[in-house]
Amino acid sequence: MAETIAFTLNGKPATITTDGQRPLLWVLRTDFGLTGTKFGCGQAICGACTVLVDNKAVRSCTHPVRNVAGKQVRTIEGLSSNGDLHPLQKAFVEHDALQCGFCTSGMILTAYSLLQDNPQPTREEIVAAMDHNLCRCGAHTRIIDAIQDAAARMKGGKA
Amino acid sequence: MNDNPHMEIDFHDIITDPNLSRREFLKALGGGIFIFFCIGDSSVLEAQRRGGRGYPEDFNAYLRVGPDGRVTCFTGKIEQGQGAITSLPQMLADEMDISPDMVNMVMGDTAQCPWDMGTFGSMTIRFFGPPLRAAGAEAREVLIELAAEQLQVPQDRLAVENGVVFDKQNKDKKVTYADLAKGKVIERHAKEKPPVKSPSAFKVINKPFLHRDAQEKVTGKAKYAGDMRLPDMLYAKVLRPPAHGARLKRVDTSAAEKMDGVSVVHDGDFVAVLHKSPDQAAALAKIDSEFDVPAATVDDQTIFEHLLKNVGRENTVAQGGQLEEGERLSEIVVEQTYLDGYKAHAPIETHAALAQVEGNKATVWASTQTPFPLRDQIANALGLKPDDVRVITPFVGGGFGGKSPGQQAVEAARLAKATGKPVQVMWSREEEFFYDTFRPAAVVKIKSGITKAGKATLWDYHVYFAGDRGAAQFYDIPNHRTSSVGSAFGGGPSPHPFATGAWRAPANNTNSFARESQIDIMAAKAKMDPIEFRLKNLRDERAIRTLKAAAEKFGWKPAPSGRGLGVAVGTDSDTYVAQIAEVEVDKRTGKVRVKRVVCAQDMGLAINPEGAAIQIEGCVTMGLGYTLTEDIRFKGGMILDRNFDTYELPRFSSLPKIETVILDLPNEPAHGGGEPAISVVGAVVANAIHDATGARMLQLPMTPERVRKAIAALA
């Protein structure tokens, strides 16, 4: 059944009238044209579809769009501000922490969520937080380095 | 570290019509200086003649210096994360005395780029690199000639810095590449052996560069095939059989057809529903269908027996001396059989394509490693001329060999033709697993012999159904034979119950696992340290220096040690690789934790040492999957592992510390870098497990259950 859902998308008000059970992923990619959020597995296993809902990492492929009503949704497209890369994005570039780039949005937003909760994570804490985001190219060690570096630059989780 | 300026890479510009002679090619591109060149030998050009209808026949790549001074390289190669988009401009930059950010890359577009067979086999740098450098050198020569004329200065008095030609005696006398190219149309063919820069003159080549596409990838701007959008496009879901070999017996689409906003295409066995949104796939569930599924005669347990029953003609890959003589000289003989199961490519991006058919022309954006062969396949499926089909390859989200086949693009094209609207097909993860062309299950049997003093005397090696890449051994064994049975890549009768194909370092992972395990057994029988044993039996200088480099980096102390240390050496794509691993084995659970991997690589000239290191790290990490966890379970044509819940990829917590050593060999040709390091991961971990536990693992993957059983069998 169609319903109207209002939320904040990358800092701006957004509304959509649609079946509220549709996964957030496809609403973002199709209705809002935000294709930076990727489809990987469809079962919330791989993390490629990760977005932020009220600053928490959420797997959008299984998250009904109805559940974001009244909330703040942030996708990879909304992470940099005024053309300046977020420290996590910068660190991913500078550490060469990606290859094909398909898991990258999900990696960065999962890391963002981690640093909100834990601004100075240890290496072990990063591994634990990122362990359910899959990368097939094998950029893992560089991703960990990038997150540690970004955490140091953000000095307490504030970008 | 050089920090590249980040560039927008545009895959959309339509600047040429696909049906081109060279003259038309130039006209369509506008002015500038064009350098044409050939990749590979005459056989490649011959293949181009056969496959590249409509393209000029005396070159298969070219570059253009435009009136803005920018250099554009047009190539059918694609970018799938391997970094060609970064390393190819590095080569051009040094030859032309420009910075790499002055180079545009146009990749994988069959309308703009000359014919290319595809991106696989770690061949881009090896075979495309040298002619690209030659073309760059030729372009520089042309620009110098033009500058000499314009500045009225003899050529030998001119030098170039960052695209500006100047008089060495009067630096104010100068002209830019842009000014030289303006208003001109000049064509040259690159010389076969032009004077290219010597390593001492490298400013960019052999220096570390960051991925130049990183900015787009961290901001979500990078476009992949599934991100392409066209007005009025539809998203398709295709009816799939439950198993390979199943036949559609009965189908009723009437309920789906009655749904709002749904269209159905039914063409023989090909049944699809189309929606305005990719997630509104409810119509697929409304299709009532029945398939005839053949009885399963083989599964992942019985597959090896099944393969051996189907052994056909053996092809000799290498041989020397006499096996009888080898038997006679051998004081210790080791006979062993090694097994390897099916592996999925499992790129995080599933196969995707968007197709548009207008009249007798089709345009298809596809995640593919082989845009040109795909173009021909689509043309064939639609009954169009290949020249009327344009395949455009945006960024590819990982391929590893699995995106050479392009079934999804053919499906999208057929549906676009049937509906008259642009159609996107993006496979679900379940479809991706089902239609994967798996790395084949395989068996290797080896009989080898040594003297008591540890000299290898006999090597009789038979590989079944993996393929022969990496099968030939490189040790100094006087009496040897290597044979291979069965094609790994389908084509012709195959005992595999579903499609198989090239998987990163095809065949070599299986062959190296068997060979280096066997070498390790021989070392143990000779009561020798595994490195000492290898060095005693190697005469290949490149293998020796690579192994020594790994040992030095690791700080190797003689084994067997009980410390869980393993060694393996291999060769792939003209590169030599040596790895040393340290593992920890939980003897109770059988769980293996790889703690440290040192990888040394002799890859000749490393164009981008940073990119090469990343490829090594990626190889080691990806390799841990086939080594420890990845195995496709199946029952006949039914694929049981269809998602990442049961098919376990390497993850952050499985990571070892990875250290890379790239031998500094700037004067040697550049060899392949995308695959060699993955080929020995299975072997190096198997050997380390043996060192830790005394248990010899003969089957991949080395799951906790298998390791536990092997340890239990020792008691």
Residues A130 and A48: their CA atoms lie apart, in Å, by 12
Contact A127 B397 (CB under 8 A): no
Contact A39 B426 (CB under 8 A): yes
Tokens encoding B27? 């006209």
Contact B218 A76 (CB under 8 A): yes
Tokens encoding B37? 């060149």
Q: Does any CB of chain A come closer than 8 Å to the CB of residue B599?
A: no
Cβ neighbors of A2 (< 8 A, separation 6 or more) are: A17, A18, A19
Handedness of CA A69, A71, A76, A78 (dihedral sign): positive
The shortest C-alpha distance from A6 to chain B (Å) reads: 20
Residue A1 has pLDDT above 80, yes or no: no
In chain B, residues with a C-beta closer than 8 Å to the C-beta of A43 are 429, 643-645
The shortest C-alpha distance from A70 to chain B (Å) reads: 23
Contact A136 B217 (CB under 8 A): no
Q: Does any CB of chain A come closer than 8 Å to the CB of residue B55?
A: no
Measuring CA to CA, which residue among B136, B112, B262, B264 is closest to residue B194? Answer: B136
The model's pTM is: 0.94
Q: Does any CB of chain B come closer than 8 Å to the CB of residue A82?
A: no
Identify the bridge partners of residue B237 per DSSP, sorted by sequence position: B273
Nearest to A101 among B217, B278, B610 (CB): B217
Q: What kind and span of H or E run contains B282? A: helix B282-286
Residues A85 and A78: their CA atoms lie apart, in Å, by 10
**Cα dihedral angle (B374, B380, B383, B384), rounded to 10 degrees?**
40
In chain B, residues with a C-beta closer than 8 Å to the C-beta of A34 are 220
Q: Tell me the domains of chain B and their CATH numbers.
A: 22-217 (3.30.365.10), 225-293+351-426 (3.30.365.10), 303-342+438-714 (3.30.365.10)
Cβ neighbors of B423 (< 8 A, separation 6 or more) are: B233, B234, B235, B236, B274, B354, B355, B412, B415, B416
Residue B1: burial class (beta carbons within 10 Å; 0-12, 13-18, 19+): exposed
Residue A111 has pLDDT above 80, yes or no: yes
What local confidence, expressed as pLDDT, does residue B561 receive?
78
DSSP conformation class of B208:
-
Residues B379 and B115: their CA atoms lie apart, in Å, by 15
CA nearest to B211 within chain A: A96
Q: Which of the pair, A151 or B29, is modelled with greater confidence?
A: A151
Cβ neighbors of A125 (< 8 A, separation 6 or more) are: A114, A118
ipTM of the complex: 0.97
DSSP conformation class of B124:
I
Q: Tell me the domains of chain A and their CATH numbers.
A: 2-78 (3.10.20.30), 87-154 (1.10.150.120)
Measuring CA to CA, which residue among B573, B670, B611 is closest to residue B86? Answer: B611
pLDDT in tens, B94-133: 999 999 999 999 999 998 888 888 888 888 888 888 888 8
- What is each CA distance from A69 to A25, A37, B505, in whole angstroms? 15, 19, 48
Q: Which of A30, A84, A99 to mutate to test the interface with B (most CBs of B within 10 A)?
A: A99
- What is each CA distance from B226 to A104, B7, B14, B352, B423, in whole angstroms? 16, 21, 19, 5, 11
Taking one residue from A and the other from B, the number of pairs with CB-CB distance under 8 angstroms is 178
| Phi, psi dihedral angles at B446 (to 5 degrees) | -130, 135
What local confidence, expressed as pLDDT, does residue B8 receive?
32
Tell the residue number behind the tokens 């290319």, with chain if given: B116
Cβ neighbors of A99 (< 8 A, separation 6 or more) are: A137, A138, A139, B81, B82, B83, B211, B398, B614, B618
Contact B81 A103 (CB under 8 A): no
Residues B476 and B534: their CA atoms lie apart, in Å, by 10
What local confidence, expressed as pLDDT, does residue B55 receive?
41
Q: Does any CB of chain B come closer than 8 Å to the CB of residue A100?
A: yes
Q: What kind and span of H or E run contains B44? A: helix B42-51
3 state DSSP class of A27: helix
In chain B, residues with a C-beta closer than 8 Å to the C-beta of A61 are none
Q: Does any CB of chain A come closer than 8 Å to the CB of residue B222?
A: yes
Tokens encoding A26? 């496809």
The average confidence (pLDDT) of chain B is: 90
Residues B336 and B333: their CA atoms lie apart, in Å, by 10
What stretches in chain B show pLDDT beneath 50? 1-19, 41-58
Residues B442 and B533: their CA atoms lie apart, in Å, by 27
Terminal Cα distance for chain B, rounded:
54
- What is each CA distance from B153 to B96, B184, B613, in whole angstroms? 19, 20, 44
Report the 10 Å Cβ neighbour count for B126.
20
Residues B227 and B352: their CA atoms lie apart, in Å, by 9
Tokens encoding A17? 């009238």
In chain B, residues with a C-beta closer than 8 Å to the C-beta of A79 are 219
Which residue type, as a one-letter code, is found at position B494? S
Tell the residue number behind the tokens 């032309």, with chain if given: B96
In chain A, residues with a C-beta closer than 8 Å to the C-beta of B3 are 94
Which residues in B108-215 belong to E strands, given as ranges?
Answer: 158-161, 164-167, 170-176, 185-189
Nearest to A102 among B218, B349, B614 (CB): B349
Tokens encoding B631? 């195995």
Residues A96 and A83: their CA atoms lie apart, in Å, by 20
pLDDT in tens, B330-370: 999 999 999 999 999 999 999 999 999 999 999 999 999 99
- What is each CA distance from B475 to A62, B337, B386, B515, in whole angstroms? 53, 20, 47, 10
Residues B520 and B31: their CA atoms lie apart, in Å, by 61
Cβ neighbors of B375 (< 8 A, separation 6 or more) are: B110, B364, B386, B389, B390, B391
Contact B81 A101 (CB under 8 A): yes
Q: Does any CB of chain A come closer than 8 Å to the CB of residue B396?
A: yes
Residues B183 and B26: their CA atoms lie apart, in Å, by 13
Q: For residue B527, how far is the Cα from the chain centroid?
A: 39
Would you tell me which residues 601-620 of chain B have a C-beta closer than 8 angstroms to some C-beta of chain A? 610, 614, 617-620
The shortest C-alpha distance from B599 to chain A (Å) reads: 15
Measuring CA to CA, which residue among B141, B44, B30 is closest to residue B96? Answer: B141
In chain A, residues with a C-beta closer than 8 Å to the C-beta of B429 are 40-43
Contact A108 B218 (CB under 8 A): yes
CA nearest to A95 within chain B: B210
A156 band by pLDDT with thresholds 50, 70 and 90? low
Nearest to A93 among B214, B655, B658 (CB): B214
In chain A, residues with a C-beta closer than 8 Å to the C-beta of B211 are 93, 96, 98-99
Nearest to A92 among B218, B348, B653 (CB): B218
Residues B614 and A142: their CA atoms lie apart, in Å, by 9
